[in-house]
Each structure stands twice: as structure tokens, then as C-alpha cells.
Amino acid sequence: MAVQAPADGGSAQMSETLLTAEKLEVVYHHAITAIQGISLTIESGQIVAILGTNGAGKSTTLRALSGFLGIDNARVTEGHIVFKGQHIENRPPNEVTRLGIVLVPEREKVFPNLTVADNLSAPFAPAMSKADRKAREEQVYSFFPRLGDLRARIGGLLSGGERQMLALASALMCKPQLLLVDELSLGLAPVIVEDLMQRLVQIRGDLGITIVIVEQSAAVALEIADYGYVLENGRVVLDGASAKLKEHGDIQEFYLGQSGGAERRNYRNVKQYRRSRRWYG
């Protein structure tokens, strides 16, 4: 099943700015600067990809947006994050979740000792009646029919792909307006990744949820994203509409593996690359 981004490189649902992050700096243990000067703009209805190699600052950026920095003894020390007109930098994750931002983390995705059904009952869902929760649960099972067949299965006995489905399903039970997904493809077979990516596109379309995905696999992410940011060493070095990024020579060489040369070099070692180059349209 092919996964396709909008032909014009933008989402038809895009209408207003949902979140902005301006010149963010995050410091761990009061000493280690993980990201510095990162600025992002997320439009309502978009799928946005944050790309980069290990250590580029991708997961730290998602944790800053979701409020989960505190568990790693980290903090936004400069800059600000505005979601629907409210400053949310350094707010605790429970407050951020109530506002409508939900994180699917790279680690500890599900409760391993609970059944699939109990995992879906566990998340906080603001202002949802019992009937609304039931309706959302059935909707979630429609996105992930495999989970419906495994309702009584213990989370720790699920396969990697099934755990990822359950993590996404649990996040949807919180009624997010902005869904943050960290390393969806990690450790999964390509056919499973393609299926999960297609389901994200369906979720965006059916529920109108804005999605930010962090990925090392640029090829996977740019197939469904409307817009992308490339991070290196805790900074944004390139950003633009996904169609434009896929055409860019540096992205093709260093992230899509389409170099004509015999040896692929690391992006950060290329002297001529241009920081913060942008494309619009």
C-alpha cells in the first residue's frame, strides 16, 4: 500500500498556526545544552516531520513541546513555546496533555502488565463521558483492527508493531489536537512501518489531528509529511515543504541515500551547506 503526501506539498486542512516554538534552548543537568535556537511553526492539520541523525536533538524537541523534559532533569532555558495562544514551556506534562498535546514516546510505549483493553482505559481523557470514551475506543479499534482482536492480550506479549499500534491508540484516547510521535519506525519491518504511516494519514484525515513525527528515516517521513525540519547538533539546518526537501541535493545525498559519489559523507562535515535555508509554498 503506497503512502502519499498531498500533491501540492501542503495539507488542505491547513488554516491557522497551532503551535510556534521560538529560539528554544534546552539544557540537561544544568550543564549540557541539547538544542539551541530551534524555531518551529506547526500549522493546524499538518503532518510535520523532524529529521536528523542520532543526537541531533529530535527527541529533546518533542519532549520540550510535550512537557516531558522534567523526567530527564532538563529544562527550556531560553525561548518560548506557544500553543493556541498559551505559553507552555516548562509546564508539567499533565497540564500540556489537558491542553491537547499528546506524546507517543520512543521508550516505555505501553503498560506491559495490562491488557490491550486496560491500556486503552488508562489514559487521561479530558471532559469525556463514559459514552464518549466508548465511542472513541471503538473508533480507535477501527483504525487498528488488530488491537480489537487482541483486547485481552497482555501488553508485554505484543509484537513490536502491535505495541506501536497500542501506543498510538492510547494516545488517541486522550483526544489530542496535536499528536507527537517519536521514532515510529524504530526496530520495525518496512512493511509494518508503511502500514503505520498510512494509518497516521488516515487519523489526520478522519479526526483532523495535527501530527509531528520524529524520524531518522527521512524517506519514510517525507512520504507523508507536508513540511519538514532537519536538525543537526541541536539546530535547524534546513526546513521546507516536503516536496522541496526531497528534491534538495543535500537531502538526497545525506538522508535519502541518492548520492552519485562512492562514499556518503556526514551532513555536518560538508562546508558548503547553508544553515536555516527555507522554502515556502
Task: Note whether residue 280 is domain-resident.
Answer: no
* pLDDT tens for the chain, residues 1 to 281: 444 444 444 444 446 999 999 999 999 998 999 999 999 999 999 999 999 988 899 999 999 999 999 888 999 999 999 999 999 999 999 999 999 999 998 877 899 999 999 999 988 666 778 888 899 999 999 999 999 999 999 999 999 999 999 999 999 999 999 999 999 888 899 999 999 999 999 999 999 999 999 988 888 899 999 999 999 999 999 999 999 999 888 788 877 765 444 344 444 444 334 444 444 33
pTM of the model as a whole: 0.86
Render the burial of 75-97: b for 16+ CB within 10 Å, e for the rest: bbeebebebeeeebbbbebeebb
List the domain range (segments joined by +) for residue 214.
17-109+176-258
Nearest to 278 by CA among 244, 222, 239: 239
- Rounded Cα gap, residues 108 and 103, in angstroms: 12
Task: Note whether residue 269 is domain-resident.
Answer: no
Domain containing residue 209: CATH number: 3.40.50.300
Nearest to 40 by CA among 61, 11, 66: 61
Looking at the chain, the number of H-run helices and the number of E-run strands are 10, 11
Task: Note whether residue 69 is domain-resident.
Answer: yes
Task: Note whether residue 246 is domain-resident.
Answer: yes
Centroid of chain to Cα 46: 11
Task: Note whether residue 131 is domain-resident.
Answer: no
Write the Ramachandran bin of 127: left for phi over 0, alpha for psi from -120 to 50, otherwise beta: left
Task: Note whether residue 281 is domain-resident.
Answer: no
Using alpha carbons, list the distances in angstroms from residue 281 to 10, 201, 213, 229, 241. 8, 21, 21, 15, 7
Q: How many domains does the chain have?
A: 1
Task: Note whether residue 104 is domain-resident.
Answer: yes
Contact assessment for residue 219 and residue 252, using Cβ atoms and an 8 Å cutoff: no
- Rounded Cα gap, residues 103 and 119, in angstroms: 15
